[in-house]
Amino acid sequence: MADIKGKNVLITGGAGFIGSHLADLLLERGAGKVVIVDNYFLGKPENNRFAQENFENFKIYRDDARDFGTMQAIVAGESIEVVFNLATIALNYSFFNPYTAYKVNVDIAETLLRLLKDGAYQTLIHSSSSEAYGTARYSPMDEAHPLNPTTPYAAGKAAADLMILSFYQVYGLDISILRPFNNYGPRQNDLALAAIIPLTARRILNGEAPILEGTGLQTRDFIFVKDTARAFLTTYEREAARGEIINVGSGREISMKDLVGAIARYFDYSGPIDYRPARPADVQRLCASAELAKTLIGFEPEYDFERGLKETLDWYKEKYL
């Protein structure tokens, strides 16, 4: 079992939603140094306030993780041993700039693989996404489910996964891939490109009607962000995870309609819903099989959806009121 204590760790996308929670967790668990690289495309300085105020061994680089020279210098300069790759540009960006939405995933993975292959650091834990699967052909979806990405973002995620796995096969590098389903929790971006929970919370708190795209019957599997952060750490610790792709989900499916209903109930909102046309190529159904995470690395979520949603909405309420 690998131990994070004393290890020098780099998190790409560490000023983002999941990356900032992962940084906090690794610092609390005794990592030697936690370095984040974020270009602040969606990341926010306030996401790292806890880490900055409480840990001297936390360091921020405002840089582009695609750039090989930059990453080479940071990895060498900080004596990095483990990299958690979480940087990406949100799915919704696929509809504005499909090229970058695709390519950023591939380019960062390539840079990190080159450094790993050169021996610049030892272990890469990479974040894929359930979006790489596309709409469920069967449910729950295990890791053998076919890849059928329906957006450029998802195609970039799938492409990066395949490239990373090929480097594991050919060079035997120390690599694991996590495939999180939909995350939610405090700090999730609630402005441009926001996902449904923060967007709905913000609209209701601003006196606007919540939006439902399409029928609202699309389903997702939601996992609380602190559980996902723990899944990343556990994957590092368990060497059985090397060379594997592992789902991180709850195994429970929730429709967008039910989700918006639950958020409306929390805020005592009984006004209208703003129905909009379906998003192009929207995935219709996602539900994880969480079996491999349980059997291979002993990971199970601690938060059920009701508890996680309350903690999340309490946080947005405090932020806005």
Ligand X SMILES: NC(=O)c1ccc[n+]([C@@H]2O[C@H](COP(=O)([O-])OP(=O)(O)OC[C@H]3O[C@@H](n4cnc5c(N)ncnc54)[C@H](O)[C@@H]3O)[C@@H](O)[C@H]2O)c1
Shortest CB 293 distance to ligand X, Å: 14
Residue 234 binds ligand X (CB under 6 A): no
Restricting to residues 155-184, name those near ligand X by CB under 6 A.
180, 182-183
Cβ closer to ligand X: 157 or 203?
157
Contacts of 118 (CB under 8 A, 6+ apart): none
| Cβ at position 159, least distance to ligand X in Å | 13
Question: Cα–Cα distance between 304 and 246 in angstroms, integer?
Answer: 20
* Stretch of residues binding ligand X (CB under 6 A), selected from 40-48, 256-264, 279-287, 312-320: 40-48
- Verify binding: residue 135, ligand X, rule CB under 6 A: no
- The reply to whether 43 sits near ligand X by the rule CB under 6 A is yes
* CA distance to 129, 133, 135, 136, 258, per residue, from 147 (Å): 11, 4, 9, 10, 27
Check binding of 127 to ligand X (CB under 6 A).
yes
Please report, to the nearest 10 degrees, the dihedral formed by the alpha carbons of residues 316, 307, 215, 207 taken in order. -30
Q: Does 37 bind ligand X (CB under 6 A)?
A: yes
Site for ligand X in 178-217 (CB under 6 A): 180, 182-183, 189
Closest CA to 19 of 198, 245, 226: 226
Evaluate the CA torsion angle 254, 134, 10, 298 in order and state its sign: positive
Half-sphere exposure of 304 (CA within 13 A, CB side): 1
**Residue 39 in the binding site for ligand X (CB under 6 A):** yes
Q: Which two tokens stand for residue 146?
A: 């076919």
Question: Rounded to the nearest whole angstrom, what is the least distance from the CB of residue 241 to ligand X in the complex?
Answer: 17
Q: Which is nearer to ligand X, 269 or 293 (CB)?
A: 293
Q: By C-alpha distance, which of 155, 188, 150, 248 is closest to 21?
A: 188
Q: Is 136 in the site for ligand X (CB under 6 A)?
A: no
Burial class of 207 by CB neighbour count within 10 A (0 to 12, 13 to 18, 19+):
exposed
Among 11, 51, 82, 104, binds ligand X (CB under 6 A): 104
Closest CA to 187 of 11, 17, 51: 17
With respect to ligand X, which residue has the nearer C-beta, 48 or 297?
Answer: 48
Does residue number 87 form part of the binding site for ligand X (CB under 6 A)? Answer: yes
312 binds ligand X (CB under 6 A): no
Q: How big is the site for ligand X, counted in residues (CB under 6 A)?
A: 30
| Segment lying near ligand X (by CB under 6 A), choices 73-81, 86-94, 270-278, 293-301 | 86-94
Q: Side chain identity at 240, as an amino acid letter?
A: A
- Angstrom distance (rounded) from CA 103 to CA 70: 18
Instruction: Determine the Cα–Cα distance for residues 236 and 17; give it in Å rounded to an integer.
Output: 20
Among 89, 141, 229, 263, binds ligand X (CB under 6 A): 89
The smaller minimum CB distance to ligand X, of residues 64 and 227, is found at 64
19 sits near ligand X (criterion: CB under 6 A): yes
Give contact residues for ligand X (rule: CB under 6 A): 12-13, 15-19, 37-43, 64-66, 86-90, 104, 127, 129-130, 180, 182-183, 189
